[in-house]
Structure 1
């Protein structure tokens, strides 16, 4: 046996032992024997560096330092899930998907919703190459070095699985390991960690991978993302992933109906407390991958999946004070300041009271004993008041009449739940809030600049709006607290780089009220430049697909304000992209304008997402369901029989993938 063959043989053997121990929980070798073989491999690799492999079992011990975690755009977006809390929610979801699919023949998978940090693992030619956190779903932080230390994640997989794919999962900290870590911290006189979820998430961003390796992190996998059409169902793909070496929990089950889904939910609502890790609900997915493709996505979530959240934990505590926060749009949010209380793994001190109507409805008062729970087990909210504990001198809450920051009298328009501070350009939280929104990841994504720095720059009189960012110099920034030459240069470089951001994101970044990501994309696509948008009248705006009166009025109000126009003029002068680039325009046309098109089946020359983008780039609108308004259907292989029947009944024409390509070319 050659040296190379010996090294490869040891790697294969050690990988198998890792899999048996960390995935199957079935050790086939003692720790001592494993360490002897690992040392033998380390020695051979050290003597023969020409055979180095970053996926070798010897690389799992960590030791590399990552000073900056690079931001990586996900090849396939990581969507969030819609939540449900009752049988009625699930039945409504089932009706929606059955209507869209045109069939009641839908099978589901039920999986526990693991409470950890979402991760996306990329494999190429069967080898692990990259790990990226979920981030905002569009892009996240690369944590490859740290993920390599988690021994339940295979670094090389068997050849009979798909070769190029992404594996989605959750990095968790099992309860036993979490408790041992806390025992050690307490013994060393350190503060214990609050909960496993936050500790797992924080572990991924430690700079020293050697420290990550010491933590008993685990990875539970729940989705295979690939263009290879090897498996027909989600369940089948996970079974194959488990055989290939991934830790896919055995708790996943198939269900034929919502009744069977609820049976799974009720069973695990009781049994979850016996699990070695935390879980906060159940994820239900349409099992057929073809049906998943048919259903597609909304702007935020897959239509083919939904999370059922277990009933939130509820505690009672004292409401000490009601304060008021001012948002970037001037919206006022009342906040309950509570006597600190332990809830769902964290210490809760504050909870949202939403608006004056909610305060009046609950009759919440300072000094009350209130019931608090986490909405979706994330944001604490007050659910009610224990009237039996109300103090005798209690007085009804009088909602604020003036802005807590600038003293301006608050306003409230008809039909609006919130009060607003109208002092848009003189109220500090609104000024800094707009700038913070502008620099955020989903908007201009400016590296080296965060919310605290924006506050500091504003207090020092260096910026008053987001256009001022482009005049900042390194010399101005260096004297600021916690700033050095390198961090100042990184900030300036990040601001300069933001000039490359596409118009649709710039439009979202401007912070026009009611213009979110999706609306900004539609407006950018339709008007193609900020000048065209600013000059549009009310009728022109509401004739744009999905733009209503409220959005149109908001755009017009923004466009009439001289301060906004001056800011936009400055942004133009700095080179910010305030129109669709020539390159993008060349890829667009009006060939499909006014057409409503349904995409159905499996395609070969273009992916489903590429097809949909091509429709939109040529002025068409993609619809998920067939109706009398459908212009035509682009059909691939295995088009659903119910959709075919419906198309024939309605007389909707069906074209092939090649017909469509010819049409747009």
Structure 2
């Protein structure tokens, strides 16, 4: 299965493993600002059902908050009051809603499984809805309570009685049955990788917040029971028996609760539920031990006998560690943000292009900023915006765009390392020099053998053997590649040196190569007589052939009998 192979990535390095070099006051300020943002996200999520940022961004922010607190020995804040419902009557859950720890990487998930090799494990989709507790007494539904803070929640019993997915009675049930599950909006054919959550949880909370729930809206709501805490066999681990009984009562849990053994099966189901149709939105998978401690010992905090592994994040919050400005072959300057590693779609991202100087200036990205990273077209990392700007702003040394253009850096001088190297890589690729890539050119440049675009053409095998790491076989291979390039056509050589693209006929007269002198003499108007060459391209061609430094290179090609005068 091709989609399974995509997930076989190496473990992600611990994000932000190095502590920031901050004074204590600056550290407290940074942690406080991040906490304020997390508070706002939590308040919107728990009170209004609004997901202001994706799970990947939220989880990354929480990890960074914990890391910084450990770095600077800052005690964690008390739990947010916003996580507890503020409106309506509050009821105590008969058993706590425990919540779940999240595996922050493939490695973390594997470690959790490795520690439970002797346990029977079951996997379920992590349904994206609202958690509830259901209490049945003498077989009749008596209470439905929203999750709230895990200990207390709102009374949703009235609405629940208008939801057909919640049975009013259980046949042949024990005197008391406590179920925990998720109310969700029915979405037949929902594919998480394609459709995302699309506000599923917010819409669900919106329905339950209405004073009255219509019969039509009740039909739109499904229920996924993910646990029966007080089942007679709840500590013995007979999950199959529990599922059989739940199915007999009308709960559709069995089809999406499956026994698993090991990382390969967990990964397979996570990918399958992410990329294939389900009747609800999901945000990951949950793996549970069939055998758990007695429910009386449960607390309103994540236990160690269950864990969630979110779907591959397509957005995350990343910390910018530095800004690099690369200069390409044509002189284009591209800012690149280097990041503390983040995971997007199960791939590790540690750098992202900002496209252009103008876009970098618009975003004003600086080291220390926390930025929103997403995948453009689900493949290319893209920096969307700055979420939290570092204070104070750090200075960044920016190259001057006017110093770089399509004819700059044809020699290796100060400030030209990147563009000169890019020119050499383009030259060897265009001329088909086998075995000559960026590494070879770096070796030649660092060895002082190449400071002009054609210096390599006069190097012999004996000189090449003096370079670090270049033995006889490699020296002979490089020399052969250099010599073979002399057989390439004049058109390819001009393209290799950076001549703007032209129709092949534009370089010929009466069927033969026009010659260097004739091409240099052409006016911009003459260049425009060929199809596809407009005023801008004509001006570029004129500059190329008349540029003094380029002219010297072209004369050298005449001496090498690659071009004719």
TM-score computed with the length of structure 2 as normaliser: 0.42
**Higher RCO structure (Cα 8 Å, ≥6 apart):** 2
Q: Which structure has the bigger radius of gyration? A: 2
